[in-house]
Amino acid sequence: MTDPVAAWPGELVPAGAGQLFVRSAPAPEGAEPALFVHGLGGSATNWTDLMDLLRKPPADRPDEPAIACEAVDLPGFGFSPVPASGDYSIDAMAAAVGDLIDARGHWPVHLVGNSLGGAVCVRLAARRPDLVRTLTLISPALPDLRPRLLPMRLTLLCAPGVGPWALSRLAERVPAEKRALMMARDVYADMSLAHPKRVAEEAAELTRRDALGYADTVLLAAARGIVTEYMRRGPRSLWHDAARVKAPTLAIYGSHDRLVRPAMAALAARSFHGARVVVLSRTGHVAMMERPGLVAIQMRDLFAAARRPVRASG
């Protein structure tokens, strides 16, 4: 097994009233901008391998534009500081990502989100269509009230007093290396595709965040934001937002996802207008990490279709 590419360098970028840490992969002049948004407990490094594949044209399509890839750490995650507002709702995170795109000034972007990041991207695409050229969702955390073991565990952590106690006990009793392996087993379908170096990197990140003092608070607040959205109904719901999205959309689900039911692909196909919906076989919750090559192929097809001129009807 060859060593994977190193994490892309990053910097703190002013965005709205705060700052966000953004990692960027080098791309040639004229590359189309893309922004990647991670899931709960993740960071911008979750996109490292996919960014490497997209930043240059593929060998079989050399005339295709390259993609200028940037990945953001959501407020309080990764190396992004906690927001002054203390607000970790989906609305607040979508506003922060929108502020970042505005600040970068290269919109509209190819917007890409996984899990929690998928929910954030759906809200942003519905409410700021001017910022979004295409939308790619990988196992998006959109409302699904059918109980599953891992989401139920997340809901339990949101109960008053339970989350802080459980997370502190976990950190005290379980080494970071073992916690990183547990997390990988939750989100990968095929553990042979979880490179040991990536697991080691995650363990190092867990160790770093254990020392910050606010990591558990951020994680639980963001989890409560997801649970709140799952309970929301009517015009403010995420599925209502999905129906409002105008950008060409690709939704990718994993056949063996333990967090987002693959059956949700059918609802996504009905909700997003004209979306391409794909279920990848033998794939878990983080297809961009587990099978980045397959995800890159699907995304390039989406980008190519978005470049084609729209034929006038009638």
30-41: pLDDT as tens digits: 899 999 999 999
* Structural domain count, the chain: 1
Residue 177 scores a pLDDT above 50:
yes
Percent of the chain with pLDDT over 90: 73
Q: Worst-scoring range by mean pLDDT, 107-116, 150-159, 222-231, 305-314?
A: 150-159
Q: What's the pLDDT score for residue 202?
A: 96
Q: What's the pLDDT score for residue 231?
A: 83
Residue 235 scores a pLDDT above 90:
no
Confidence of residue 167 (pLDDT cuts 50, 70, 90): low
Q: What's the pLDDT score for residue 130?
A: 97
Residue 265 scores a pLDDT above 90:
yes
Task: Answer yes or no: is 263 within a domain.
Answer: yes
Q: Is the dihedral of CA 88, 91, 97, 99 positive or negative?
A: negative
Task: Answer yes or no: is 153 within a domain.
Answer: no
Instruction: Name the residue range of residue 135's domain.
Output: 10-145+234-307
Q: What's the pLDDT score for residue 313?
A: 46
Q: The CATH number of the domain where 33 resides is what?
A: 3.40.50.1820
pLDDT tens readout for residues 292-312: 999 999 999 999 999 877 554
Task: Answer yes or no: is 42 within a domain.
Answer: yes
Task: Answer yes or no: is 29 within a domain.
Answer: yes
The angle, 0 to 180 degrees and rounded to 10, between the axes of the packed helices 162-173 and 215-231 is: 140
SS3 13: strand
Angle, CA of 185, 189 and 190, to the nearest 5°? 90
Task: Answer yes or no: is 15 within a domain.
Answer: yes
Confidence of residue 2 (pLDDT cuts 50, 70, 90): confident
Pairing type for strands 18-24 and 10-15 reads antiparallel
Beta strands in the chain (DSSP E): 10-15, 18-24, 32-37, 67-72, 109-114, 132-138, 249-254, 276-280
The predicted model scores a pTM of 0.93
pLDDT tens readout for residues 77-131: 999 999 999 999 999 999 999 999 999 988 999 999 999 999 999 999 999 999 9
Chain length of the chain: 314
Task: Answer yes or no: is 179 within a domain.
Answer: no
Task: Answer yes or no: is 166 within a domain.
Answer: no
Confidence of residue 160 (pLDDT cuts 50, 70, 90): low
Task: Answer yes or no: is 225 within a domain.
Answer: no
